[in-house]
């Protein structure tokens, strides 16, 4: 009987939420094809080339050999060690002085009461990270939100239309991640100090099981579009339309229990594609679920899988200023021991592996390390910064200079011409 009552309550909440959402006005168009990680891109981001075509399957599974000749090829380092035995879910944002600020959570284990959200700044002139500081801990979250907080996770920064920085993060009061909600706080000084956190209300009755992992997007009216997801009852993506710290609308991006943690590529002011982490049963394809919108996020239609393997693991996405698209992902069907960057040039429908970042396939007894939760940004539209979890004990940072991508594109075109 209790289950029936709970189901009826959830059904009522869903109907009320639907009626509430359906009364909203038409959404503004997307502002650009870029995620909100760079303050300069708010005004002068370039559009994706008109020759772009729908994505198809992964064309090859080896890096372009000629990339090895690029000097220097890549710059790699580690985010500062805080002494915590477990770290995860790093994210990045470009600052107004061309530096990069990172956020990540650290503690004795994921979901433990001692988990805190840390931050550090990367200076491109010295190639050094600043000493880490704590942005939020469980006690501070409780005081700021005036509610019990059991654990913290998944910090995601964004750039607001007025230039301020906003940090979204996940809080849980009861149960596991399925009982989570999203909170946010705003900084006027590039992340040095923050105002009081506020809980985002994504449902008028049951404000549970809403998480965030991926970068936000901008609309031309200055509001943000935040890809979110649910893990309770269903596992699906949801697109939140946000004004400051208020959710003013939302739309379902997928359905069922098979797709979470969406990343979004915009094609034009009305059209965008979403790629998801798959959470399917063992009998179903371990590929990347996709959906698309043709009305700036107001409605999403499930489309054909992107035929790249996905082992129930998050992926990162980025569009460069010239329209080149990048993803970092685990292109295997099980475990997370292999991490690669794939690239799709504007005039090609094919995704190709251009860099193998990690590969522990040779380890004995299946004792693979885990490389997961990648996050991509560009500081100037031509380069890329990547952060990802390295075996849950470190956060690795990789910098791809513009010359690296220039050479990669040239090599791909040469290879396709052969």
Distance CA 275, CA 263 (A): 5
- Residue 116's pLDDT is 98
Residues of the chain with pLDDT > 70: what percent? 83
Q: For residue 334, what are the CA distances in angstroms to 13, 45, 77, 172, 327?
A: 37, 37, 27, 28, 18
Question: Does residue 67 surpass a pLDDT of 50?
Answer: no
User: Please, are residues 300 and 254 in contact by the beta-carbon 8 Å criterion?
Assistant: yes
Least confident of 123-137, 164-178, 270-284, 351-365: 351-365
Q: What is the pLDDT of residues 12-62, one digit of tens each?
A: 544 444 444 445 568 999 997 544 455 554 444 333 333 334 444 454 444
- Residue 32's pLDDT is 74
User: Please, are residues 241 and 53 in contact by the beta-carbon 8 Å criterion?
Assistant: no
Average of per-residue pLDDT across 264-269: 96
Q: What is the pLDDT of residues 285-308, one digit of tens each?
A: 999 999 999 999 999 999 999 999
- Residue 42's pLDDT is 46
What lies within 8 Å, CB to CB, of 125 at 6+ separation is none
- Residue 190's pLDDT is 97
Q: What is the mean pLDDT of the chain?
A: 87
Q: For residue 211, what are the CA distances in angstroms to 145, 253, 264, 356?
A: 17, 14, 16, 29
- Residue 261's pLDDT is 98
Q: By C-alpha distance, which of 261, 161, 292 is closest to 218?
A: 161
User: Please, are residues 119 and 106 in contact by the beta-carbon 8 Å criterion?
Assistant: no
Residue, of 36 and 327, whose pLDDT is higher: 327
Residues of the chain with pLDDT > 90: what percent? 72
What lies within 8 Å, CB to CB, of 357 at 6+ separation is 328, 339, 340, 341, 371, 386, 388, 398
- Phi, psi dihedral angles at 214 (to 5 degrees): -110, 160
Distance CA 390, CA 117 (A): 17
Least confident of 168-172, 208-212, 269-273, 398-402: 208-212
- Residue 21's pLDDT is 46
- Residue 208's pLDDT is 79
Q: What is the pLDDT of residues 247-259, one digit of tens each?
A: 999 999 998 999 9
Question: Does residue 4 surpass a pLDDT of 60?
Answer: no
DSSP 258-292: SEEEEEEEE-SSS-EEEEEEE---TTS--EEEEEE
- Residue 18's pLDDT is 45
- Residue 29's pLDDT is 96
3-state secondary structure of 177: helix
Q: For residue 162, what are the CA distances in angstroms to 39, 47, 241?
A: 9, 21, 17
Topology annotation, domain 30-417: Neuraminidase (2.120.10)
Q: Of the ranges 156-170, 171-185, 347-361, which is most confident?
A: 156-170
pLDDT band at 368 (very low <50, low <70, confident <90, very high): confident
Average of per-residue pLDDT across 266-276: 96
H or E stretch at 118: strand 116-123
- Residue 61's pLDDT is 42
Q: By C-alpha distance, which of 68, 54, 63, 130 is closest to 99?
A: 130
- Phi, psi dihedral angles at 34 (to 5 degrees): -115, 145
Q: What is the pLDDT of residues 212-229, one digit of tens each?
A: 999 999 999 999 999 999
pLDDT band at 415 (very low <50, low <70, confident <90, very high): confident
- Residue 39's pLDDT is 57
pLDDT band at 203 (very low <50, low <70, confident <90, very high): confident
- Residue 291's pLDDT is 98
């Amino acid at each position: 009987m209790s289950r029936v009552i709970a189901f009826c309550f959830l059904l009522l909440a869903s109907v009320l939420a639907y009626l509430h959402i359906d009364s909203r006005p038409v959404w503004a168009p997307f502002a650009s094809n870029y995620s909100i990680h760079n303050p300069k891109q708010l005004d002068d981001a370039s559009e994706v080339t008109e020759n772009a075509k729908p994505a198809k399957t992964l064309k090859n599974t080896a890096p372009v050999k000629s990339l090895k000749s690029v000097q220097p090829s890549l710059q790699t380092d580690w985010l500062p060690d805080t002494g915590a035995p477990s770290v995860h879910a790093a994210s990045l944002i470009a600052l107004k002085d061309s530096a990069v600020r990172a956020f990540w959570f650290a503690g004795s284990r994921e979901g433990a009461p001692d988990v805190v959200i840390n931050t550090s700044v990367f200076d491109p002139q010295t190639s050094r990270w600043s000493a880490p500081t704590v942005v939020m801990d469980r006690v501070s979250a409780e005081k700021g939100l005036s509610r019990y907080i059991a654990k913290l996770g998944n910090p995601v920064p964004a750039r607001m239309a007025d230039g301020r920085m906003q940090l979204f993060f996940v809080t849980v009061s009861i149960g596991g991640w399925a009982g989570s909600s999203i909170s946010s706080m705003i900084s006027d000084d590039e992340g040095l100090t923050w105002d009081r956190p506020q809980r985002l209300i994504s449902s008028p009755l049951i404000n549970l099981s809403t998480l965030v992992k991926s970068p936000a997007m901008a609309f031309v009216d200055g509001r943000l579009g935040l890809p979110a997801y649910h893990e309770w009852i269903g596992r699906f993506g949801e697109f939140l339309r946000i004004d400051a710290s208020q959710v003013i609308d939302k739309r379902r991006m997928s359905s069922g229990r098979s797709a979470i943690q969406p990343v979004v590529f915009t094609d034009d002011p009305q059209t965008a594609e979403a790629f998801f982490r798959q959470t399917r049963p063992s009998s179903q394809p371990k590929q990347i679920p996709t959906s698309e919108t043709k009305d700036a996020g107001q409605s999403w239609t499930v489309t054909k899988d992107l035929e790249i393997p996905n082992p129930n693991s998050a992926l990162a996405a980025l569009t460069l200023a010239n329209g080149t698209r990048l993803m970092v992902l685990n292109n295997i069907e099980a475990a997370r021991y292999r991490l690669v960057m794939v690239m799709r040039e504007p005039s090609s429908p094919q995704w190709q592996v251009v860099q193998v970042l990690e590969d522990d396939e040779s380890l004995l007894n299946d004792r693979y390390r885990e490389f997961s939760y990648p996050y991509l940004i560009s500081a100037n539209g031509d380069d890329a910064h990547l952060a990802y979890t390295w075996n849950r004990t470190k956060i690795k940072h990789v910098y791809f200079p513009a010359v690296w991508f220039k050479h990669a594109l040239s090599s791909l075109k040469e290879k396709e011409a052969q």
